[in-house]
Amino acid sequence: MHTMHTPSLPTSDLLLLFALTAPTTPIITKIKMTLISNVNDYQIVAKTKLPKALYEYLASGTDDEQTLAENIQAFKHWYLRPRVMRPVKDLSTVVTLFGHTMKMPVFCSPAGVHALCEPEQGECATAKACEQMGILFGLSQHSTRSIEQVQEAAPNCLKFYQAYILKDRQLTLRLVQRAIRAGYQGIFLTVDSVRFGYREADARNGFNALPAPHRLVNYDEPNTSSVQSTSNNSSGSSMEQTYNGAKHKAWDQNSELMFEQNLSWADVRWLKDQINAIAGQHHSRPIPLIIKGVMTAEDAQLALQAGADGIMVSNHGGRQLDACLASIDALPEVVDAVAGRAPVLLDGGIRRGTDVVKALALGATAVGIGKPMFFALAVEGQQGVLNTLQMLQQETQAAMALCGCRSVDEITRQLVTRHPNGTFGGRFFRAKL
């Protein structure tokens, strides 16, 4: 494990150092590692290690990348109001989510293709880091390690499975059933992806298929499902012909061809009913359904009416609709609409412990990270993810203490404010790859 308290060089100095040195030089590689003392440092190092097309696939957003940039910058519009002379010696970051205890209010959001950054273990490495930290790991339907492989690798980790509704509804259902049978204790349903946003970087770089030997392995179905299959075990190969068909210039435009586009809130009710039926056979407690990709009060209300157990405020990391609000700015209206009836989660832009505290103060129960997870994987694998989570926990603890909060329950909306003059003094820049 690396020392967490090494002073961090300014980003400009880091970039200059990396530009002047070959990434493969052992001495310089060691120096780079000692420079990593915050989440952003991993991205700087990852850019020197990953192929250009892969780095830009991970780092880029849609269209002008306004939302990608504002996901991070919008946190700067919110200011903390420190409270002093309060006892904080026995500070705890523990939080409860759907009856499960997490050691901090941060989790790894479901995101696909981890093996592009960590070929040996893929999602198993991330799940094991989450297991070490005692937090939630979200497994994407588009993972490069299967539902069952991840369960075997991290059996004691709290894991939720993330689903898309496919054109093949029975395949969607079989995947959810596999997750519940394997021991996953929650389901994310991503609802913002009837189409994928167009990422120009992928088209420019020719990133229109997964590089061999990587595949979306969950579509390779075992012969153990009790849900009747209409496609048998040929589904994996037929799906691969779609998502790796290279019909379009960017990969996500190929993979979106698998998704159902005629969706309504009735589909959420259908999935919730199916989850309840499956869970009753395999679990002693209910399996929560969290709707991921909600950005408005209206949709939060409709999601709850359709049977959702939780709401996740997310704009897909700025990779879907450009020019929508940053997640943190959409959070307050969603929290107000939910009005305490269900947990509200958030991802998008979390890079510091102060970001965590701001999100919790605005009503989030916990927050997820996505891009930082990939960059840490690319640099140091499982250890990198563990370090990232530890740094976020340390920063969160410090921010809580300086705000006078001994527990996450004491983080309330009174701790955040807008700037008194209604402006932000910083400059905004378009996100740069």
Token representation of residue 269: 């009710």
Distance CA 239, CA 404 (A): 52
pLDDT at position 433 is 53
pLDDT at position 232 is 44
pLDDT tens digits, residue range 171-201? 999 999 999 999 999 999 999 998 888 889 9
- ω into 105 cis (within 30 of 0): no
349 annotated as belonging to a binding site for a ligand: yes
Distance CA 280, CA 276 (A): 6
Token representation of residue 272: 């919730």
Quick one: DSSP state of residue 166?
B
What φ, ψ does residue 39 adopt, rounded to 5°? -60, -40
pLDDT at position 230 is 36
Classify the C-alpha dihedral 112-397-318-175 as positive or negative.
positive
246 annotated as belonging to a binding site for a ligand: no
pLDDT tens digits, residue range 23-48? 443 434 444 566 899 999 999 999 99
Classify the C-alpha dihedral 415-416-417-419 as positive or negative.
positive
Distance CA 195, CA 205 (A): 21
292 annotated as belonging to a binding site for a ligand: yes
pLDDT at position 27 is 39
For the segment(s) 38-198+259-418, the CATH number from 2.170.120.40, 3.50.50.60, 3.20.20.70, 1.10.10.10 is: 3.20.20.70
**What residue ranges do the domains of the chain occupy?**
38-198+259-418
pTM reported for the whole predicted model: 0.88
Token representation of residue 90: 């026995």
Distance CA 39, CA 392 (A): 8
- Among 370, 365, 369, 368, smallest CA distance to 310 is for 365
What φ, ψ does residue 167 adopt, rounded to 5°? -60, -35
316 annotated as belonging to a binding site for a ligand: yes
Token representation of residue 428: 């905004």
Catalytic site positions: 316
- Among 388, 390, 369, 392, smallest CA distance to 380 is for 388
Flag residues of the chain having pLDDT under 70. 1-34, 223-237, 423-433
Distance CA 325, CA 331 (A): 10
Give the CA distances from residue 401 to residues 29, 87, 355, 404, in Å, rounded to whole numbers and listed in that order: 35, 9, 14, 5
